[in-house]
Amino acid sequence: MELTHGSLFSGIGGFDLGFERTGFTTLWQVEIDDYATKVLEKHWPNVRRYRDITTIDWRTVPVPTVLTGGFPCQDISVAGKGAGITGARSGLWSYFHRAISILRPHYVVVENVSALIFRGMGRVLGDLSEIGYDAEWEVIPAYRVGAPHERMRTFIVAYPQSLGHLRQQAETRIFSQNVQKPYRCGLTETWGRATYRGQSGRVFHCPNGGIPRVAHGLPYWVDGRIRTLGNAVIPQIAEEIAWMIRRVEEAHA
């Protein structure tokens, strides 16, 4: 069984590395930043790259098993000006949505800051619902995979509603915790035309002793390396999600 991966808003390849560690093949990447593209060219020299997500004709792009992407967070983050998911940067979600609607992958993995829960989650889930996708999610910190910092991020895994009777079974759910309301978001359990049955909204709380939120001793945005690391998806978290998806696929192959 060949498992493939398409990468939107690739950055320096956090999703790509995590999924390839579990046996997925990256078919293509989309990244507009020049510095990040140089990193991708170095580590994935044979992978097709597109630069501008707003100009891609998705009808000409190979369909992957999994489509991943961490769309821009600047308008959603509490550190930003609060324009939300319709802002100039975070509004690129609409192009992510368009890619999903045309490609129709088996799975979609979306990443953004934890503030997405109250600054755009309803829009994302509603858009997915309109094109026939159900979803599950978690807010996962970096220390979940052993990193010495907090870095809370929202991860959404979506899949066609036609497969929901399989994906929502307790033994094969991507995020398999008990269903409860999303953490502090005040949203109901229904968005758009679909009910999201598998979400847990669980947040892993910081252990005693404190976890640093920033890279101590380094000035903010010291150069392209720090900037792209700050924007990157942590590969170990991507790898965890990839393994869960792989197990579900193998269980129903």
Judge whether 7 and 22 are in contact, CB under 8 Å.
no
Q: From CA 229, how far away is CA 97, in angstroms rounded?
A: 25
Find all residues with CB under 8 Å of 197, minimum gap 6, and list them: 134, 164, 168, 179, 189
Task: Give how far the C-alpha of residue 151 lies from the chain's centroid of Cα atoms, to the nearest Å.
Answer: 14
Judge whether 8 and 14 are in contact, CB under 8 Å.
no
**206 an active-site residue?**
no
User: DSSP readout, 38-73?
Assistant: HHHHHH-TTSEEES-GGG--GGGSPPPSEEEE----
Q: Pairing between strand 25-30 and 66-69? A: unpaired
73, 85, 142, 244: which is the annotated catalytic residue? 73
Name the residues annotated as catalytic: 73
